[in-house]
Amino acid sequence: MKTSTAWFLACRPKTLSVSLSPVLVGTAIAWHESHTVLWLPLLAAALGAAFIQIGTNLFNDVGDFLRGTDTPERLGPKRATAEGWLTPGKVRAGAWLCFALAFICGIYLVAHGGWPIIAIGLASLAAGWAYTGGPKPIAYGPLGEVFVFIFFGLVAVGGSYYLQTLSLSPMALIAATLVGLHAAAVITVNNYRDLDGDAKNGKNTLAVRLGRPRTRHLYTAEILAPYALLPFLANLGWPAALPLLTLPLAIRLIARFYREAPGPAFNDILAATAGLQFIFAILLTLGFTI
């Protein structure tokens, strides 16, 4: 395999929209309230979020390999380190490079947004490393979904809104909840697929703790709750209902989640869940801008 292809796959492109969606939504809410878009903060926030997600993915790639979690029996997509496409040292260096690039984006954002952005940036970088690194990785416990909900929902949407307005609003936090729940569902698919292998290797994810039946219920709640919460955006008017256009896709995903046996089919469900979150976020963004 070409080195460039290996790096591309190691970045996990099918789920990178999870970091872009909240930036778009947070910026759209700010535009709805101020009718102004600050393009440089938007670009720096989008790039910074993408670099943090890619860096986290790369740390996860090498971390799972070194901990022995990624084995030949793995059901998920092939990983660069485990397959020998890239050495652990190169993947770890790539992760740190992504974090360095995110830090550079953060320098500009801090100059623009002040100390709250310092707190957000440092917390995001620390959490991205701790997701698979350190003595007690987040990914090896039951808080993976909580991590994603906070950092790819509340922090990312709220932070993007703040960069545009230097304030926060209830509307931004409500929208952040919607986006974050769908982002958490992506992790739930991943952990449900890998439940048996994770349990065998001591990776006590929330799916391992709950078992398959209750994890299916969790996924259903994560997928449907954002639709149930749309009425809280009712003061937006009829555009608040635009994300309902994705409800048929959401129902089909839930049905497939229940129907499919745990295995490689869940790789498609994972990508489709990330796609659902992105389309939902695009329609939510459109609702705030029309």
Q: Tell me the two tokens of residue 99.
A: 């974090």
Q: Tell me the two tokens of residue 251.
A: 């129902």
Instruction: Determine contact, residues 109/121, Cβ cutoff 8 Å.
Output: yes
CA dist., res. 154 & res. 76, Å (int): 28
Other Cβ atoms closer than 10 A to 225: 15
Map the chain to HEC letters: CCHHHHHHHHCCHHHCHHHHHHHHHHHHHHHHHHCCCCHHHHHHHHHHHHHHHHHHHHHHHHHHHHCCCCCCCCCCCCCCCCCCCCCHHHHHHHHHHHHHHHHHHHHHHHHHHCHHHHHHHHHHHHHHHHCCCCCCCHHHCCCHHHHHHHHHHHHHHHHHHHHHHCCCCHHHHHHHHHHHHHHHHHHHHHHHHCHHHHHHCCCCCHHHHHCHHHHHHHHHHHHHHHHHCHHHHHHHCHHHHHHHHHHHHHHHHHHHHHHCCCCCHHHHHHHHHHHHHHHHHHHHHHHHHC
- At 71 the pLDDT is 63
Q: Is the dihedral of CA 259, 261, 265, 270 positive or negative?
A: positive
Domains of the chain with CATH codes = 17-289 (1.10.600)
- At 218 the pLDDT is 98
Which residue, 249, 238, 236, 241, is CA-closest to 279? 249
- At 126 the pLDDT is 92
- At 83 the pLDDT is 87
Spell out the residues 6+ positions from residue 116 whose beta carbon is closer than 8 angstroms to its own.
162
CA dist., res. 168 & res. 223, Å (int): 26
- At 74 the pLDDT is 67
- At 72 the pLDDT is 57
Q: What type of residue sits at position 3?
A: T
Look up the pTM and report it. 0.94
Q: What type of residue sits at position 85?
A: W
Instruction: Determine contact, residues 275/284, Cβ cutoff 8 Å.
Output: no
Radius of gyration of the chain (CA): 19
pLDDT along the chain (290 residues), means of 10: 90 94 97 94 96 94 83 73 92 96 96 93 91 86 95 96 95 96 97 91 93 97 98 92 97 97 92 97 95
